[in-house]
Every structure is written in structure tokens, then in C-alpha cells.
Amino acid sequence: MYVSVHTTNRALRNKMHGNPKASDILKELKFFADHKIRMHIQIVLCPGYNDGKELKSTIQDIYKFHPYVSSVAVVPVGLTKHRKIQLSPVTKEDARSAIELVDAFQKSFRKKHGESIAYCADEMYIKAELSFPSLQEYGELSQIENGVGMVPLFINQSRKLKFPKTISPKKRFLTITGTSFYPYLKKFISRLTERERLSVEVVRVENRFFGQTVTVTGLLTGRDVISTIHGNTETYDFLVIPDVVLREGDTLFLDNVSLSDLEEATGLKVLTTDGTPQGFIDTLAEAECRI
């Protein structure tokens, strides 16, 4: 079970939820633990609310339910331009403080249990301008859907690629990503163009729909993709889209733009990829079947 907690301070939690009668989260966690239900906890860090001493207290309270609480992820708050409540974004200093606090817990947990248990999201390290922990420290990557260990996994997988002979260097590919992942995908693409002589370009798409402070790829909309690459498609044959931008099991972006709409607007054949390095390579190879 994946549970959003944010804070175990009941008064603070009620304030953050805007509900003075919200249930006691500690009682709910105890109920799950008593019934031997495994939990993965997410704490959305909101500077000035649940950071610092509150974050430390929250992790301590949650840890009491280990091993039924299997992991705890601390992720930075994502602020859209549509928000009604005034919140501050996570700064470099906020991110570094949170990482330092979580790192202290990790050292203690690894000593006691042989695993880190508590983790910071990749975006926290990006904001802090710090290197990621080694991939081994993320254990089973149980919080990868919350952006914990996704970039380190991508970097690790990019070193173990198999290149099909069917990829033609004459075909020209364009791909897109969000602003936070752009430097890492750009480095990977540079390897493809320099070492493998493939024609691939990556474009960074800013999120105008939700606001520029939302930097993850999964929240990009079709209209933002179209407006970003408009006028830059004539020299390409294919547009490669990571499937994380689409609704699960569908061909629609969050703003209901479809893949066929994207093809019509850009004039490019659109291919989807699973977001892994090998998946990207395999998608380029599949382009042979789309000509």
C-alpha cells in the first residue's frame, strides 16, 4: 500500500489538508501494521510546514511501524500555477537540509537493518546540486514511481546497451523530455550521436500548462510539446515520446491531445518508448517498420 503522510503532527496535518476534522494518521498506520499490511510512505516536503524538526519527528514516528512500513520517500512539493494556497518551492538549501537529515536516518537504518528504508527523490538531489547515491543504496527501488532512484537507474542501464544493426544512421529522430531530466537524457543522446553515429536530438519542454516550476516529464501536455517543437520538425523523420507523458493504457496526454493529433500537428511519425535506455534504442530500431 502506498500512503501519503506528509506529517504525523495531527494539528499540522489538519492545517496542511485544510480539514480540522481529518483522521489521525498514526491510528490509521497502526491499523494497517496491526493487520500486517506492508506500506510505502510518501512525505511531500513543503518548506516552512513539514521540514526540519517536523520532518525528523515524522520519520521517527513512521519508523515505529517498521517492518510493515517498508520505505519512506521524501519528495519536493510540486507547485502549479493553479494553486490556491501560497506555498514556497523547495530551494537548494531546503533540499540539502532534507538530504542531510534523511542521510542520517539512512546510516542508522542500514546499520540496524541492512537497508536504507528512507530515501529522497531524485529531484531533491537535482535541486540540491548533489550527486545521487549509488544505485545499490536504493534497494528494491520500491519508490521508483515516486521518482526515487529513477535517474540513477537510467544512468546505470545506459552503460549496458545492445545496439541492433537495424538502426539506420540516415534516419533522423527528435525526442522530448522535461527540464529536470534534460541534462541526463542529453548526455545519453550525445553518446548515441558521437559514438554510434545516430541522428538524434533531444528538446527540453517547459511546462506552461501547470507552470515552469513543474519540471518532471510525466506532467508534460501535448500542447506544450507541440508549441515547443513547432517549426523545428522539417529536418526529422520521427518524434520519439516517452510513454510516461500518456495516460496509463491510453494514447492521450493529460490535456486530451492524442498521438494522432501530435502527428498531424508536427508532420512527424510518432513513436512511443518506455523511458529506459534500452527501450529507447529498441524504439529507434522499430522505426524500420514505420517507413
Model pLDDT for residues 231-258, shown as the tens digit of each residue: 888 889 999 999 999 998 888 999 999 9
User: Which of 147, 173, 206 is the C-terminal boundary of a domain?
Assistant: 147
Note the pLDDT of residue 212.
84
User: Which of 109, 126, 147 is the C-terminal boundary of a domain?
Assistant: 147
Note the pLDDT of residue 79.
67
pTM for this entry: 0.88
- What domain count does the chain have? 2
Note the pLDDT of residue 78.
79
Note the pLDDT of residue 174.
95
- Beta-carbon contacts of 6 under 8 Å, excluding residues fewer than 6 positions away, are 13, 16, 43, 44, 46, 50, 58
Given the DSSP bridges, would you call strands 238-242 and 269-273 parallel, antiparallel or unpaired? parallel
Structural domain containing residue 80: 2-147
Are 181 and 64 part of one and the same domain?
no
Note the pLDDT of residue 233.
85
Tell me, rounded to whole angstroms, the distance of Cα 119 from its chain centroid. Answer: 14
Are 82 and 168 part of one and the same domain?
no
Are 133 and 35 part of one and the same domain?
yes
Q: What does the block give as the cell for 103?
A: 542521510
Is 152 part of a structural domain of the chain? no
Cβ atoms of 149 and 103 within 8 Å: the answer is no
Tell me, rounded to whole angstroms, the distance of Cα 195 from its chain centroid. Answer: 28
Task: Count CB-CB contacts under 10 A for residue 49.
Answer: 20
Note the pLDDT of residue 285.
87
Phi, psi of 152 (to 5 degrees): -55, -35
- Beta-carbon contacts of 278 under 8 Å, excluding residues fewer than 6 positions away, are 157, 160, 161, 162
CA distances from 31 to 5, 34, 42 (A): 14, 5, 18
Q: Tell me the one-letter amino acid at 34.
A: D
Which stretches of the chain drop beneath a pLDDT of 50? none
